[in-house]
Amino acid sequence: MIRNTNAGWGSVSRWLHWILALAIVGMIGFGWWMNHIPARPDRFFYRSIHADIGYVILLLTLLRLVWRVINPTPTLPADSQPWQKLAARISHGALYLAVIVVIMLGWAHSGAHSPDYSDFFGLFHVPQFTTPDRTAANAYEDRHILFAYVLLALITLHVVAALWHHFIRRDRVVARMVADEAR
């Protein structure tokens, strides 16, 4: 099934979830590695690739949000407590918000950095919304890193909640995101 139902996630939602999950976790790891390697001539290349993938993640995240708006969100099990439903809504909203904030701070850093990271895989230049400014670039980069750690904490919370649903509650919430189940 392509579209979501009240009982489960459709294939588009599942694919976007897992592609974004792998890309975001990979980008956090790649970003950490980039900031911990000694300065070297190819550092700009790695930062450019990081920025390019960030632009793709932003596009996919926006696509996922649009898809989520035009599709129903599967309901939590009937025995879920009101606080659990609220916590799920808040944590999912926080995840989306953190992803967008991290990317926008990275994009702001790109424009403030000289030279910028606007060359998208050598195909075209991504418009920048900030201008070159070393002090601003450093501030954007610091905040980009800080919010990447906030995002990592939210991802950890999301995974712990998924494990809780799967192993403690045994309520099929995780199974709905893993495979297309008969509805």
Q: CB-based burial of residue 25 (10 Å sphere; 0-12 exposed, 13-18 middle, 19+ buried)?
A: middle
For tokens 């932003």, name the residue: 58
pLDDT given at position 112 = 98
pLDDT given at position 181 = 64
pLDDT given at position 102 = 98
> What is the per-residue pLDDT across 41-55, written as a single tens digit (0 to 9) for each?
999 999 999 999 999
pLDDT given at position 124 = 98
Residues of the chain with pLDDT under 70: 181-183
pLDDT given at position 101 = 98
CA proximity to 141, closest of 167, 114, 180: 114
pLDDT given at position 58 = 98
pLDDT given at position 183 = 46
Element containing residue 119 per DSSP (H, E): strand 119-120
Residues belonging to the chain: 183
